Amino acid sequence: MADLIVLLGPPGAGKGTQAKVLSRELNLAHISSGDLFRDHLSRKTELGVLAQGYMQRGELVPDNVTISMIRERMANTDCAKGAILDGFPRTVPQAEALDLFLADSKMGAVRKAPYIKVEAQVLVERLGGRWSCRAGGHVYHEKFNPPKAAGVCDVDGSALYQREDDKAETVANRIRVYFEQTTPLIEYYRRKGVLAEIDGAMPIEDVTRELLASVR
């Protein structure tokens, strides 16, 4: 059986930041749907071209496309032990498809779904100051978590950039989409008895501590 953890929370809650630490501490693969889409986009694959418009508008990429991309990624041998899912599922049909896939592939079921709670006003400030690394998906914040050298990733030395969809107008739409389409997942996982609520407004290290306690 694989160990599967789903990180829930709005855009900017800290899912990517925390997923990196959890995957290292628990020795599980880190699967970020956003990073997978951005990788397809940079390679101009058919999937990347299809996803581009949705991502630029801050809308969700259609479920069927997203689900098949994740199924393919989870079939990889590095997921046999388990994975931290960051950014997927984001709709109830995606969560149902994940459950089916986990059962069919004998991987088991989602063990824990920590929900990193952060209020909307804070999210805008977080995304507005986010700097991301192209190579490994590491994330920084110009005020809250600055890199040692401006514009350079501490971990792999690659250049940092500001995401096109982190502009204020797109952020507002992403937060709206989150409340409409992703919040029902909180109830979905609560009903399954695997939800853990974490206060995401605390400093990064404190959130990490609570997250680790919730999944250990």
Residues that bind ligand ADP (CB under 6 A): 9, 11-17, 33-34, 37, 54-55, 58-61, 66, 87-90, 94, 126, 129-130, 139-141, 144-145, 165, 174, 202-204, 207
Q: What's the Cα-to-Cα distance from 173 to each of 7, 25, 69, 103, rounded to whole Å? A: 21, 34, 24, 34
Whether 73 is catalytic is no
Q: How far is the CB of 78 from ligand ADP (least distance, A)?
A: 19
Whether 174 is catalytic is yes
Residue nearest to ligand ADP (CB): 34
Instruction: Identify which of 110, 158, 171 has the alpha carbon closest to the alpha carbon of residue 132.
Output: 158
For 105, phi then psi, to 5°, come to: -90, 10
Q: How far is the CB of 193 from ligand ADP (least distance, A)?
A: 23
Whether 90 is catalytic is yes
Instruction: Identify which of 6, 36, 10, 38 has the alpha carbon closest to the alpha carbon of residue 22.
Output: 6
Whether 15 is catalytic is yes
Return the number of the residue (1 or 93) whose C-beta is nearest ligand ADP. Answer: 93
Please give the Cα distance from 2 to 106 (Å, whole number). 8
Return the number of the residue (1 or 173) whose C-beta is nearest ligand ADP. Answer: 173
Asked whether the beta carbons of 81 and 2 are under 8 A apart, the reply is yes
Asked whether the beta carbons of 125 and 119 are under 8 A apart, the reply is no
Q: How far is the CB of 157 from ligand ADP (least distance, A)?
A: 18
Whether 24 is catalytic is no
Q: Which residues are catalytic?
A: 15, 90, 130, 163, 174
